[in-house]
């Protein structure tokens, strides 16, 4: 008797959906960290590393882990660690305070 449901077709359809759900759950994990490159790509419109350090990490002392924030070693030297969940929330709550048009080149003048 032929099967009414094509199992291979279902696997092709549902495998990416299930993978995306598990990846999202993993990403949402409490205490998950990201590096500065992922932070700047996901939350800063692809601004450069130095731009993020100057116009976010230096400008807003509350983001420094030592001040209760989400970024450990904001100026580098040692590895910069960013707590993803807190960083995302801070950006969502404070994006209007950031001068997105600021330029590193203007600082050099």
Residue 53: both structure tokens together:
């350090």
- DSSP for 32-55 reads -EE-HHHHHHHHSTT--HHHHIII
Confidence class for position 26, pLDDT limits 50, 70, 90: low
Q: Measured between alpha carbons, how far is 90 from 69 in angstroms, rounded to an integer?
A: 9
Mean pLDDT of 47-75: 96
Backbone angles phi, psi at 79, to 5 degrees: -60, 130
What digits encode the pLDDT tens for the residues 64-84?
Answer: 999 999 999 999 789 999 999
* Chain Cα centroid distance, residue 86: 10
- Lowest-confidence region among 16-30, 58-72, 75-89: 16-30
Residue 109's pLDDT band (cuts 50, 70, 90): low
């Amino acid at each position: 008797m032929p099967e009414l449901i094509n199992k291979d077709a279902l696997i092709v359809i549902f495998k990416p959906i299930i993978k995306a759900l598990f990846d999202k759950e993993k990403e949402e994990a409490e205490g998950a960290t990201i590096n500065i490159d992922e932070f700047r790509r996901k939350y800063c419109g692809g601004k450069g590393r130095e731009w993020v350090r100057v116009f976010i990490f230096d400008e807003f002392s509350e983001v420094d882990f030592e001040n209760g924030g989400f970024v450990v070693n904001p100026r580098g030297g040692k590895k910069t660690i960013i707590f993803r969940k807190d960083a995302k929330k801070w950006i969502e709550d404070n994006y209007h305070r950031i001068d997105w048009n600021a330029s590193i080149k203007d600082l050099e003048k």
